[in-house]
Chains A and B, each alone.
Chain A
Amino acid sequence: MSAAAAASEAIEITPELAAEHGLSADEYALILKIMGREPNITELGVFSAMWSEHCSYKSSKVWLKTLPTEGPQVICGPGENAGVVDIGEGLAAIFKIESHNHPSFIEPYQGAATGVGGILRDVFTMGARPVANMNALRFGSPDHPKTRHLVSGVVAGIGGYGNCIGVPTVGGETEFDPAYNGNILVNAMTVGIADAGRIFYSAAGGPGNPVIYVGSKTGRDGIHGATMASAEFDQDSEEKRPTVQVGDPFTEKLLLEACLELMATDAIVAIQDMGAAGLTSSGVEMASKGGVGVELELDLVPMREEGMTPYELMLSESQERMLIVLKPGREDEARAIFEKWELDFAVIGRVTDTGRLVLKFHGETVGDIEVAPLVDNAPEYDRPWEPTPKSAIIDTDDVAAPNDPMDALKRIVGSPNMASRRWIWEQYDHMVMADTNQRPGGDSAVVRIHGTDRALAITTDSTPRYCLADPEEGGKQAVAEAWRNLTAVGATPLAVTNNLNFGNPEKPRIMGQIAGAVTGMGAACRALDFPVVSGNVSLYNETSGEAILPTPVIGGLGLIDDLDRTTAVAIPREGLNLVLVGKTKGWLGSSLYLREIESRADGAPPPVDLAAERRNGDFVRGLIQAGRVAACHDLSDGGLAVAAAEMAMAGGIGADLVDTPEGLALHGWLFGEDQARYLIAAEDGAAIVAEAQAAGVPAAVVGQTGGDALTVGKTHTISIHELRRCHEEWLPSFMARP
């Protein structure tokens, strides 16, 4: 027996060691029962990884099951590396969102970079060429001493990876709130396009088939949770090993091209990227999905460091690696492709019919686990939860009206959460691949389907302050806003991916947020025919007992059938009617106005009327697709005034808005955040209003485009120049501070 194997055998397995691996006493007892003996350290590592919250979804699974996942457009829903939807003409879009929150807090550049690398692999492992990246970011207060460093590192890391691999980063969102001071959120999303008839799945099959390892070599990257245990392995460990993984986008680019080249042949039976828990989760999942066994010879794994143990090899999270099951006899063909791309290639095992994961090391068996119970008996908890108490509804009349509404507008568009994100997106190559039709800054990114006149629309959305006040309405709102953003560019919404970012699920209060948000999301997805096809869950985002805001991020995907029939937010010319679609009550609870102008963060968030969302959205989309809309923007943070200001700033053409309608307060009219609303610029405003009425959709002409200022009721006015100055100034000057 080799020294390393002997060393790993020699480690005594105790309940404490199991606890250090994050396994509860009950979970360890279950492991003993499944194994029928004490596991060795490698086996314990495999169980601990597979049963971690990250891999097993043990706290969220019961809730995730309630989400709608089907529809005629869905080719593959949750359960694979990414979701797959039909986009017509023989093509499929493959997409998913994933979090890299904790690593990005520890080392923002590499954490964010490897997050992008990971989600890209999830998409191309299914046979798609990635065509767009998105990122949803949450940082702590701008006043917190770490914030600037984290923003600059995360943005540079996302750009560093995406720019190098050559996939455009076309959008996302960024917010600041003190609740993220100790736990930032970095959620990365990738969309790819594949031939609908050539999707690759992860179920291994065909006993005897070779299992190959391709990509980068394996090092001791990211072997966390278990650092204590592994520290005992090497007496000569010179320094505490960093758990941070370093991304290598260049190698990933080669891996992407090599995988797509191999996928163009028919040599692949199954393929799976090595993400979290590396070889463990990829090997186990491929075996489990295929109902087969897998035998791996770990000493054949290409290694970057000397003396690696089976335990380390199974748990390493080295990046830029893939596991592939080939048809028999196709090894040489595959090897030639990976060698051409200067990547490592090794046959490291084979598929078996035993249903067991067998690990060998220099001929010795160092692990032997039955796959079915390892996966099927993974713990699943229906954790106790408390519903979030309802917040009081705030009456607009109880909120002081602004002295100068244009000054309030200026402060809002220049506030940390509304200021332009140009400083960020200019660091991302958002045009590479030469198909970006709508760049960052609009409602949705629009990316042409290469070689066609059709396009994908992509957005990410979440309004955590609403979710905190009312998780269920907040969950609905996140989905509705994503759907609205797709609609606003003229896209037909297809499906969503989602990233559930929450605190500690063992606290009933937090579990109540999860339950509420998922319930709301499910209701909205059902009502809007917007099924969930993939996603990710990130829990325990807490520091010293302080949880983040509940942040369910929705990544929405839509389809544009004709690029000539799409709209953007910019007002393109003078003399257009501005039509407000949707009902305005002047809802100020949990609004940005309340937060920025009144320094209050209370009140029930705006309710989401899903039937109205659907009706209003379908109406607007119909107009856009009929070519009757010159510009369109959905109303969200900051309400009508902010939407109009953004349209004016984007187009460089101003607008005159009518006076506050009868029965509304000025600040409710301008800044209320009632849902299901759009502001559109069109030639034939009166006709549109008439058609809307006939369709049961509230609509009114609320202004005209023209001039170089935004004016309300002829009395309040602000120049576009001044708006832009406030809007563009904050982020660059914040980042330039020492």
Chain B
Amino acid sequence: MKTAVIVFPGSNCDRDAAVALEAAFGTRPAMVWHRDNELPDLDLILLPGGFSYGDYLRSGAMASQSPVLRAVKEQADKGVLVLGICNGFQVLTESGLLPGVLMRNANLKFVCRDVDLVVDSTASPFMRGYATGQQVTVPVAHHDGNYFADDATLNRLEGDGRVAFRYAAHDNPNGSARDIAGILNERGNVLGMMPHPERAVDPKLCGIDGKAMFTGLVEALVPTIMEG
């Protein structure tokens, strides 16, 4: 089982993500520096939260142009799983791996709190640990999480079951279109989400509702390895 966390200058949830991955997979993820333009063979790539390049210009914009992103795209094209959390989600939209954009929160303020999410679609390896319609509580912490896309794109995302999570009604912290909190690419191997599942894997901290994502990924990936 090979996992990697990509580290950009200004990433700051890279350690948290590595801890969550190691707890689930039992092996330490490779920490890959943004200037590396080649990646080893991997099963899961995680783009962590933080402020890559200070979030200057646009969140995720500069990271989406970094050498390592080209390698991430190649792997995504081959079907390797890519999970972008928070700033990682912003990098995925900026790089075109996911549609739409994450704009400034509607009230213009940074928001850090627990939010209630509803699982919308379980049709991807990321979501195996969850049940459709299940409500979970996971923290958010971002300034630019206001998901925007044109209506055609939104309709397509919904029609294709590519909305992984929505904010529960009345708990939309940022003004996202159709309460979208996380989306998948067409193939279902790239997930971007604003909430932080990696912060919710320990009952002493922010609860354990994020844990199912990582245990689900382990279940999803282990048979692949055995077949391979």
Contact = CB atoms under 8 A, between A and B. Distances in A.
Q: Are these two chains actual partners, yes or no?
A: yes
A107 interface: no
Contacts of A436: 205-206
A424 to B, nearest CB: 10
B54 A164 contact: yes
A381 interface: no
A227 to B, nearest CB: 29
A164 B205 contact: no
A100 interface: no
A349 B20 CA distance: 45
A427 B109 contact: yes
Nearest to A564: B204
Nearest to A446: B204
A677 interface: no
Given A250-B9, A427-B109, A428-B112, A433 B16 contact: yes
Interface residues of A, number: 30
Contacts of A431: 112, 139, 141, 196, 199, 205-206
A315 interface: no
A121 to B, nearest CB: 17
Contact of A434 (B50, B55, B112, B198): B198
B133 interface: no
Interface in B196-223: 196, 198-199, 202, 204-206
Interface string A161-190: 001111000000000000000000000000
B51 A166 contact: yes
B48 to A, nearest CB: 10
Contacts of B58: none
B110 A429 contact: yes
A441 B143 CA distance: 22
B12 A432 contact: yes
B12 A427 contact: no
Contacts of B16: 432-434
Interface string B40-71: 00000000011101111000000000000000
A254 interface: yes
Most buried by B among A165, A254, A429, A433: A429
Contacts of A428: 110, 112
B199 A166 contact: no
B19 interface: yes
A563 interface: yes
Interface string A414-443: 000000000001111111111111000000
Contacts of B111: 426-427
A254 B13 contact: no
A434 B139 CA distance: 11
B55 to A, nearest CB: 7
A426 B49 CA distance: 17
Contact of A159 (B10, B55, B110, B202): B110
Contacts of A563: 204
Interface residues of B, number: 30
Contacts of B198: 434
A253 interface: yes
A191 B196 CA distance: 24
Nearest to A425: B112
Interface in A96-123: none
Contacts of B196: 431
A326 to B, nearest CB: 24
Contacts of A435: 205
Contacts of A254: 9-10
Interface in A605-625: none
Contact of B141 (A156, A432, A437, A448): A432
B113 interface: yes
Nearest to B33: A340
B15 interface: yes
A429 B15 contact: no
A153 B132 CA distance: 42
A428 B143 CA distance: 10
Contact of A437 (B10, B12, B205): B205
A370 interface: no
A425 B51 CA distance: 19
Contact of A253 (B12, B15, B141, B204): B12
A341 B54 CA distance: 13
A342 B112 CA distance: 30
A429 B55 contact: no
A427 B204 contact: no
Interface string B187-200: 00000000010110
A116 B202 CA distance: 29
Contacts of A380: none
Given A250-B53, A431-B139, A436-B205, A163 B110 contact: yes
23 contacts: A160-B110, A163-B51, A163-B141, A164-B55, A166-B12, A166-B51, A250-B9, A250-B56, A251-B54, A254-B10, A426-B111, A427-B112, A431-B112, A431-B199, A432-B12, A432-B141, A434-B13, A434-B15, A434-B198, A434-B199, A434-B205, A434-B206, A436-B205
The 6 closest A-B pairs by CB, nearest first: A166-B12, A250-B54, A434-B16, A164-B51, A429-B141, A429-B112
Given A431-B206, A434-B198, 13 more contacts: A159-B110, A165-B12, A165-B51, A166-B50, A166-B51, A250-B56, A341-B9, A426-B109, A426-B113, A429-B110, A433-B16, A434-B205, A563-B204
